[in-house]
Amino acid sequence: MGSAVGLGNIWRFPYLAGSNGGGAFLIPYLVGIAVCGLPLLMFEYAAGRHYRLGVMGAFKAMSRRYEVVGLAIAAMVFFILSYYLVVAGWTLGYLIATPIGKEAGFSAFTATWWPVACFVVTAVVCCGVVMLGVTKGIERTSRALLPLLAVVIVLMAGYGMTLEGRGEALSFLFKPDLSALGDPLVWARGFSQAFFSLGVGMGVMITYGSYMARESAIARSSVIVASGDVSVALLAGLAIFPLVFTFGGPPGAGPQLAFETLPQVFSHMPGGMLVGSAFYLLLFVAALTSAVSMLQVVAATISDRTGWSTSRATRWLVLPLLGLGLLSALSYAPADLRFFGQPVLDLMDTTFGTFGLLVGALVTCIAIFWLADGLAMKEQVGHGAPRRFVAWSGFLLGRYVAPITLLASLATLAASLIVLGELRGR
Ligand code: PHE
């Protein structure tokens, strides 16, 4: 849950829903979770627990030639992590600025070196948690922080429901304008958001599955994780849109929604400092527990390969991570670092966070549903779950529906990037 619930739910989901037809976006997103995301999640856990290895080791065990694919996934996660930590750093910056009443417009924020400093602090904290190990670091951090996150988001959504704009917000979120569904890009974005939000296709759940106890029921855990993940996204919508509709600001502001529109809302509303601080705390906690899971994948890959402890592997990763992340951090700081006219961070998000993730999910599907030992996978998931459910999700959805959907999403996104040049930021 710590890995799944992240910036994807609280920052990415509301802005994507806001700029892709509100309620209409929910349909492809939920279909994507149920039809492709959940089966993949279950079988990633299964593969991890069966092979007891990280993504590279597990892929190698499925087929020797696939080892390099696992390695590529781990490398991709490292790239995603590098800019994810920058955005996580922004939330830390806002968390510090909001209670001291600093006017936190996004351009004012990125005109300082604060974003860089916050990135460095966040990256170091993330490495520290992973170095402490799975039980002492990740499990304890998630156990302490996730209930806090749940309380804050429920309170914020409850507060949203007392505001004047709640009616408008509810119909924006839950009364789909079905005409938006005619746009294939809405479907592609909905599906890719489903994968991003669950955190499948990046080897994270394979790695976490490798630490899972024999007796824990995979199907049940997966259903809990997926429903928790969707609930947090919906609650984030219920917290944010009433604010937007009550205090003004366009719901379709795009990625700036959490960093430009909301701070303005917070500075105008009564008690905004408190609500704002709670919101950024929430965002930071969610981001940190997800970042930790990504770093664990990279560290586990190195440790599978070298035999080092995860902690030693992580120590070795600190400097490269800071170096790579700095490129993205500097693109939203006075240095304004750009490649091909685009801020490095945006380029990273399109390349790795959108395309990379879909490719990662596709190759993971192929590995798990075509190359791995099918019987063993089914046995792992089957423990405590209805047989038909396992057969359906594994061998109809996972084998055929998910790869076809992924290919279609990739093709749509690629076409839109090439033909319309409009993928950026959506
Ligand atoms: N699922 C996380 C989120 O919603 C992001 C993530 C992606 C985590 C890929 C791990 C792997 O923010």
pLDDT at 419 over 80: no
pLDDT value at residue 104: 65
Question: Is 52 inside a domain boundary?
Answer: yes
Inform me whether the pLDDT recorded for 365 exceeds 80: yes
CA dihedral over 271, 173, 409, 362, signed as positive or negative: positive
Mean pLDDT, the chain, as a whole number? 90
Nearest CA to ligand 1 atom 8: 199
One-letter amino acid of 166? R
Residue 220 domain-assigned (yes or no)? yes
Domain range for 414 is 7-425
Q: Is the pLDDT of residue 395 over 90?
A: no
Residue (of 288, 353, 333, 383) closest to 95 by Cα position: 288
Lowest mean pLDDT among 80-84, 148-152, 159-163, 311-315: 148-152
Taking the CA of residue 357 as reference, the ligand 1 atom at the shortest distance is: 9
Cα 146 to middle of ligand 1, angstroms:
15
Q: Which atom of ligand 1 is nearest to the CA of 4?
A: 1
CA 199 to ligand 1 centroid distance, Å: 4
CA angle 53, 290, 62 (to 5 degrees): 20
Residue 40, pLDDT > 70, answer yes
Say if 80 falls within a structural domain.
Answer: yes
**Cβ atoms of residues 30 and 23 within 8 Å:** no
Residue 204 lies in a domain: yes
Stretch 103-117: mean pLDDT, rounded?
A: 87
Which has more pLDDT, 386 or 59? 59
Residue 270's pLDDT is 83
With respect to residue 128, please indicate whether it lies within any of the assigned structural domains. Answer: yes
Q: Which residues line ligand 1 (CB under 6 A)?
A: 3-4, 6-9, 196-197, 199, 202, 204, 290, 293-294
Nearest alpha carbon, ligand 1 atom 9? 199
Per residue in 295-346, pLDDT (tens digit) is 999 999 999 889 999 999 999 999 999 999 999 999 999 998 998 888 999 8
- Residues 332-362: b if buried by 16+ CB within 10 A, e if exposed: bbeeebeeeeebbbbbbbbebbbbbbbbbbb
Mean pLDDT (whole number) for 287-293? 94
Residue 48 near residue 209 (C-beta atoms within 8 A): yes
Measured in angstroms, how far is the CA atom of residue 114 from the centroid of ligand 1? 24
pLDDT of residue 120: 98
Choice between 267 and 68, residue whose per-residue pLDDT is larger: 68
Q: What is the pTM of this model?
A: 0.91
pLDDT digits (tens, 9 = 90+) for 164-200: 999 999 999 998 888 888 888 888 889 889 999 999 9
Residue whose C-alpha is closest to residue 128's, from 295, 329, 264, 361 = 295
Domain with 273 in it: what CATH number? 1.10.4160
Among 131-145, 214-228, 319-333, where is mean pLDDT lowest? 131-145
- Picking from 294, 315, 306, the residue whose alpha carbon sits closest to that of residue 74 is 294
Q: Which of 55, 90, 153, 197 to mutate to test the pocket of ligand 1 (most atoms within 8 A of CB)?
A: 197
- Tell me the pLDDT band of 241, cut-offs 50, 70 and 90: very high
pLDDT at 402 over 50: yes
Is residue 2 situated within a structural domain? Answer: no
pLDDT, residue 422, reads 54
Say how far residue 105 (Cα) sits from the centre of its chain: 24
* Per-residue pLDDT at 284: 93
For 235, residues 6+ apart whose C-beta sits below 8 A from its C-beta are 153, 154, 156, 157
In a domain, 1, yes or no: no
At 103 the pLDDT is 64
The answer, yes or no, to whether residue 118 has pLDDT greater than 80, is: yes
- pLDDT range class, residue 426, cuts 50, 70, 90: very low
In this predicted structure, the answer to whether residue 222 has a pLDDT above a threshold of 70 is yes
Give how many domains the chain has, as a whole number: 1
- Distance of CA 2 from the midpoint of ligand 1 (Å): 9
